[in-house]
Amino acid sequence: MIENRSPSCLVVGNYCHDILIKDDTVIGESLGGAVSFISGVLDGFSISSTYICKVGTDFSYPVIHPPLICPSSKTTVFHAHFSSEIKREDRVLKRVCACDPITPSDLPNSHFSFGLAVGVGGEILPETLEKMLDICEIVFVDIQALIRVFDSVDGTVVPVDLRETGFYRLLPRIRFLKASADEAPFVDVEEVRKCCCLVVTNGKEGCTLYEKDRAQQIAPFPTIQVDPTGAGDSFLGGLVAGLVHGLGVPEAALLGNFFGSLTVGEIGLPKFDLKVLLRVRDEVQQMRLRCTRCPEGQNGELMFMKSSDHEHFCIALGAAKLTSTYPVQDCQWDLPCSPSAEQSIHRQCSGQQKSLSSTFYEEVINSADDIQQN
């Protein structure tokens, strides 16, 4: 049960330097790490959050939520390798440098309504997750924080079965576990759904919620994909934002799909159009009022059945998306928040955009045109 007080979030995971490489040529550099995408969504909803992230002294980007600086370590670096070959539809991800892990002593001793374990480079330890479970009422875990291992030679990311990790024993205490369709084979869906809600994201197919004996498909929002990076992170941010604001789980997952679709439609860290975001916040508020009239929603329990207004909410979010005025290749942020935070965001924008070649932009836009014509 969520206590009747202002919800707060603890978000744990390191910032990274992301290097995009196509056909062995560097085409872009960007701020990375799940927290960089999740914070954009949570900040957009003015959700009180504490971020525990580590970087080295070489960290290159100004950020709104400052990390812990490790004087004897370098910032985690990922190389994302793409290919022009048609048979290679996805990226090959390599961790070429790893910052220090986040330990239990790095976490505050405060109590939080929600906790998000969103490591990307092996920085979250089993004992760190265990402390999160102790101090957070509801914990969301991205499976990539648990099952990623890294080749000892070149750092290629290789997933392993969850049962082979030191995190497996903690599964009964996790409330939400998110996995992509590619990661789902590394967990036993039938086993996991008995003890927590498993959310499997599947790109243009939306997502599926597995909870006990229920499986619910949540509709996607059609988008021309130009960069899949961070889509799952934005989805998780939207899911949490929805629950913080009192939505049922299916409606919160719908909000997650919405923010995931905005993210894949842009290059790099997404900008959230102020007009769109304000309209979405209004739709969320209206949906929340409808949820509080449901018997299940009146006692503070999480609601796992679709609301009778679920389809209406889906249509409303789709209409809100159409109000965006930003071109696809523009990658700044514009979030509604306090004047001081807004100034920080504008300062951050100039430092965190991907540095991308004009050729890459042309390829992205041409690809989008080809998709529309087909």
CB < 8 Å & 24+ apart, contacts of 65-73: 65/35, 65/39, 67/14, 67/15, 68/106, 70/99, 70/100, 72/100, 73/99, 73/100
Q: Which of 106, 233, 273, 334 is catalytic?
A: 233
Residue 182 has which token pair?
Answer: 């590619």
Asked whether the beta carbons of 270 and 40 are under 8 A apart, the reply is yes
Asked whether the beta carbons of 258 and 322 are under 8 A apart, the reply is no
233 is catalytic: yes
- Residue reference for tokens 């793409």: 82
CA distance 338 to 367: 38
52: part of which helix (H) or strand (E)? strand 49-52
CA distance 343 to 188: 46
CA distance 105 to 128: 8
CA distance 99 to 123: 8
Residues serving a catalytic function are 233
